[in-house]
């Protein structure tokens, strides 16, 4: 069945360092991937997305890498700041479930000042 999961449930990084959050997916039909950030008491917030015809996409301080061969997705955050502390979810979408985004369980990122 479909599933999106994360390798590490928690991650602690020093302020200013780079963070890497990993995600594995199993649905080979997935062709669109999204990273969300969720702060305590708030709904998930869109960070960046990538389509399966790309292997890298960059935003402001964030980069998403997609390796379709091993069904792996990662989110890199450059110069991590205290405001980056949150739970990060990868999510996937496929043409077969076009309007339904499936979320993984999340990684909690803690930034140490």
Partner 1 sequence: DTGVSQNPRHKITKRGQNVTFRCDPISEHNRLYWYRQTLGQGPEFLTYFQNEAQLEKSRLLSDRFSAERPKGSFSTLEIQRTEQGDSAMYLCASSIHRGGYTFGSGTRLTVV
What is the three-class DSSP state of 85?
A: coil
Residue with Cβ nearer partner 1 (52 or 78): 52
65 Cβ contact partners less than 8 Å away, ≥ 6 residues apart: 55, 56, 73, 74, 76
Q: How far apart are the first and last CA of the chain?
A: 41
Would you tell me which residues interact with partner 1 (CB under 8 A)?
A: 4, 32, 34, 41-46, 49, 89, 91, 93, 98-106
Distance of closest approach, residue 7 Cβ to partner 1, in angstroms = 14
Distance of closest approach, residue 17 Cβ to partner 1, in angstroms = 25
Distance of closest approach, residue 79 Cβ to partner 1, in angstroms = 26
């Amino acid at each position: 069945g479909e599933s999106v999961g994360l390798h590490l449930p928690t991650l602690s990084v020093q302020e200013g360092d780079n963070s890497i959050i990993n995600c594995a997916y199993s649905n080979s039909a997935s062709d669109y991937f999204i990273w969300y950030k969720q702060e305590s008491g708030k709904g998930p917030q869109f960070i960046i997305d990538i389509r399966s015809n790309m292997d890298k996409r960059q935003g402001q301080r964030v980069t998403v890498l997609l390796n379709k061969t091993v069904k792996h997705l990662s989110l890199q955050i450059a110069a991590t700041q205290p405001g980056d502390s949150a739970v990060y979810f990868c999510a996937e979408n496929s043409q077969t479930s076009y309007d339904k985004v499936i979320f993984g369980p999340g990684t909690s990122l803690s930034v140490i000042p």
